[in-house]
Amino acid sequence: MRKILGILILLTILAKPALAESFAPLVAEPEIFLESGLQLNKTLEENTPTQKPEFKEESLFEKLKNCYDIEIENTEIARGMFTDLTTKKFEKGPLESFHPWVALQMNGRMEMPENEDNDFLYRMSLININLDGTFKGGKEQFRLMLDPTPQSQRNFMQTFIQDAWISTSRIPNHTIFFGNTRPAVGMEGGQSPYTLPFIARSQISRTFGTIRKFGLRVVGNYDYVDYDLGALSSGTYFTTFMPGAEFNGWVNFKPLAKTKGKYGKIVTGGGIATGRRHEDFFVAGAYAGYEYKKFSTCFEWAQADGYNGATGFSTNKASGFYTTLAYKLTPKLQVLVRYDELDPNKDIANNKRREYTAGINYFLKGQAARLILNYIFCQNNNQPNSHRILLGTQILL
């Protein structure tokens, strides 16, 4: 028995190297495979020519074409066609970005007074050179708008500088402007000319509002309410520095703001513009508007006991209103009508002016490229009636 046990032990000792050698490849296989794999990759890299993707910078024409090909469907904002191309961003310095852009409007106008000869004139009606910038941090911005459009009523320098302001949005839901801006004298009176539904503003807007003034404005925007409050100089077009002080205030309410458009969009508001320029003036107004999918309508009323608008200062007591209906047949094609009435002097009887307007807007690229056609029948109590055909082209670059 002892001899048998001794023989087994001896065989085990002699067989151990052979067993170890037979199991060694299995234990070391992962390491060997890894090394051979790395070596294989290295061999392939050495024997395969390097192929890096060739970068070809787009030409200016290609960049312009790419910008033009972008579809712009939002017609509520004024976005330039080449915004992405002309916006410059900075890594150093006080500016975060700088964006120059140009707005052009060309209008053709045919006057057809009753029993008189027709006259057609097509001319450049608006040239705006806008220089917009954002300071580091994105909270402060500025704009300088230059308008070299030829004028007949005022000298060149009085209309050359339009917007000239700096703003800050450090207070949540607020933007504070300081400089020369267009205050909210009425809803349409404070609206950008690039988003107007018709070529011409309503009579109350172009009489009482649509004028820039120098001072401080606070604009607040919340879900259910927004407002625009301004303490300004009553001077306009840089003719005098401070002929008097003026307050402009407008408040809008948006009761359907949280419904996500399910029931449409309602905006109701009102405001005043009051101050002194030679004499006291006071303008009050109210607005109501509704939008639902492709349909929109609005109504605005204003009454003045003296006013300080684009047509100049006046002590007249005046009042008027307009109402508009609009429908988008397609995302690019809109039809609309407006009734517009103004009594420019309530102390004079039979002095009302009425305008009936039918229009078509064709949005090639949102507001960046728009064609406009308006027909206006002007009905006057104390002078001959007339017809007008207005053809407009708007380009934002």
Residues 295-316: tens digit of each pLDDT? 999 999 999 999 999 888 999 9
Which CATH code is given to the segment(s) 84-113+123-319? 2.40.160.10
In 3D space, the residue among 204, 193, 211, 143 whose CA is nearest the CA of residue 372 turns out to be: 193
Query: Which tops the pLDDT comparison, 57 or 380?
Result: 380
> What's the pLDDT at 19?
32
SS3 state at 260: coil
> What's the pLDDT at 45?
41
CA distances from 71 to 76, 185, 208, 331 (A): 14, 33, 36, 11
In 3D space, the residue among 81, 82, 219, 67 whose CA is nearest the CA of residue 141 turns out to be: 219
Is 31's pLDDT higher than 70?
no
**Confidence bin at 116 (pLDDT 50/70/90):** low
Structural tokens at position 356: 């009936």
Average predicted confidence (pLDDT) for the chain: 84
Residues 76, 170: Cα–Cα separation, whole Å: 25
Structural tokens at position 161: 């500088």
Q: Which of 49-53, 206-210, 321-325 is the least confident region?
A: 49-53
Query: Which tops the pLDDT comparison, 296 or 55?
Result: 296
Cβ atoms of residues 336 and 325 within 8 Å: yes
Residues 128, 134: Cα–Cα separation, whole Å: 19
Structural tokens at position 358: 């039918």
Single pTM value for the model: 0.81
Cβ atoms of residues 266 and 256 within 8 Å: yes
Structural tokens at position 387: 């017809």
- Percent of the chain exceeding pLDDT 90 equals 62
Average pLDDT estimate for 110-136: 81
Q: Residue 45: enclosing H or E segment and its boundaries?
A: helix 2-47
197: exposed, middle or buried (Cβ count in 10 Å: 0-12, 13-18, 19+): buried
> What's the pLDDT at 241?
79
Structural tokens at position 230: 């301004």
pLDDT tens for each residue of 75-109: 888 888 888 888 999 999 999 999 999 999 999 88
Residues 209, 211: Cα–Cα separation, whole Å: 6
SS3 state at 2: helix
Cβ atoms of residues 257 and 264 within 8 Å: no
Is 186's pLDDT higher than 50?
yes
Residue 361, beta-bridge partner list: 334, 372
In 3D space, the residue among 288, 233, 235 whose CA is nearest the CA of residue 265 turns out to be: 288
Is 258's pLDDT higher than 70?
yes
Is 124's pLDDT higher than 90?
no
Give just the sign of the alpha carbon dihedral 298, 304, 309, 310: positive
**Confidence bin at 115 (pLDDT 50/70/90):** low
